[in-house]
Amino acid sequence: MGRLIRRLRNTLRARVIAMPIKRALLVYTIQAVLLALVLSLLAIGLFSSLQSDIYTNVYIRFEPDGALHTDGLSIYEHFTPDDQWWWSFYSYCLLISPVICSLLALSWGGRKFYKRKLKLPLEILIDSTQRIAHNDLDFKVCYPISDEMGALCSAFESMRVALEENNRQMWRMNEERKRLNAAFAHDLRTPITVLKGYLEFLTAYVPGERVDQKKLTDTLSTLSQQVGRIEGYVEAMSTVQKLEDISLVPKNVRANELFGHLAEEASLLCGRAHKAIRLTLDKSPLLLPLDSALITRVMENLMSNALRYAQTTVFFEAAADRSGITLTLSDDGRGFSPEELKKAADPFFKDAEASSEHFGLGLNICKVLCEKHNGTLILSNRPQGGARITARFGKLEFAPAA
């Protein structure tokens, strides 16, 4: 019997804990009211009984033969001072006992409500707030009850995830900026060294007219080329820095219509480069919020890269789903080397075949733009040979109206 009662009590407790806060508060309030009623009745019965004892003791003391008075109130004339004091005290307790019992019952109900419904989630949220204040985001806000506090903890977890992702993006941006600055400084060393060498040559030989006109002209031409090269690096660096300031402009776009425009432009670029193109386009009419201008820019950069290495053919694939679109450009060239698979999307990375006019920023720009569009850029090789680049663009959120 005791085990059955405990099981029933635990079941009822679990159900109350799983209730929404409003309903649980109502349940505990009803319990507190019932408890207050029971305690009040017990207190009233107790103090009434004590008053009755005083009355009985006085009656027995002055009416030992048990004779009844015709006027029941006349017995109060025989109260001693102690009897009067205790009678007044019990009367006072009789009046205030319901109030005291109600306060005790409400206090008990409030304590139970706080302990069962608020204590744990508040402790979780306070601990999470302190950890976030100390820049510790490596944890998870987990509260197993699906009530209002559970929804609050879930919202707090969403905020923590967003903060963690923002921190991760900031860290990636800082690391990317460090690599960009290091690569920029490294690539500037060569033209600066050349400039210093030729300036030393001119300083040493021009004053004494120990250099002929042709040599002087060739040297000045080389200096001009190196200055142009530095200007190109500076412009490229400025382009990369400006990518972070690009504002996306989402518009509802039909996937099949966007793919048609991209395929038309890709075919035109391949025709100018005298390369064949094979198209595999998704016919889905999905309506997605995308920045078509940014996507076109990425496609143009990827197509330029594919045309640079393709022998005869470029392969263009486009697919869409409810979360975004995917563009895949492949070629039948030599493909990526193991090192290029790791570093080709890094800023200022150039392979051995790249010309001096090529700064190695095309794939890096595509990577940055894809990430700004909630996507990714993946480098791989075709099983049949040749490079493959997959650009993923996630759907965007419209800015709320002002």
Q: Which of 31-40, 54-63, 77-86, 117-126 has the least mean pLDDT?
A: 54-63
Strands (DSSP E) contained in 230-336 are 251-254, 276-281, 287-290, 313-321, 324-331
Determine whether 158 is exposed, middle or buried from the number of CB atoms within 10 Å of its CB (0-12, 13-18, 19+): exposed
The band of 72, judged by pLDDT with boundaries at 50, 70 and 90, is very low
Q: For residue 120, give both structure tokens.
A: 């744990």
Report the pLDDT value the prediction gives residue 388, as an integer from 0 to 100: 94
CB atoms within 10 A of CB 31: 16
Residue scoring higher pLDDT (327 or 265): 327
Report the pLDDT value the prediction gives residue 15, as an integer from 0 to 100: 73
Q: Residues near 91 by Cβ (< 8 Å), separated by ≥ 6?
A: 47, 51
- Write out pLDDT tens, residues 209-234: 666 777 777 777 777 777 776 776 66
- Asked if the model's pLDDT at residue 352 lies above 60, the reply is no
Report the pLDDT value the prediction gives residue 166, as an integer from 0 to 100: 84
The band of 181, judged by pLDDT with boundaries at 50, 70 and 90, is low
- pTM for the full predicted model: 0.50
- Write out pLDDT tens, residues 25-65: 888 888 889 989 998 899 888 888 888 887 777 666 665 55
Q: Residues near 365 by Cβ (< 8 Å), separated by ≥ 6?
A: 239, 240, 243, 301
Q: Say if residues 155 and 143 touch (Cβ distance below 8 Å).
A: no
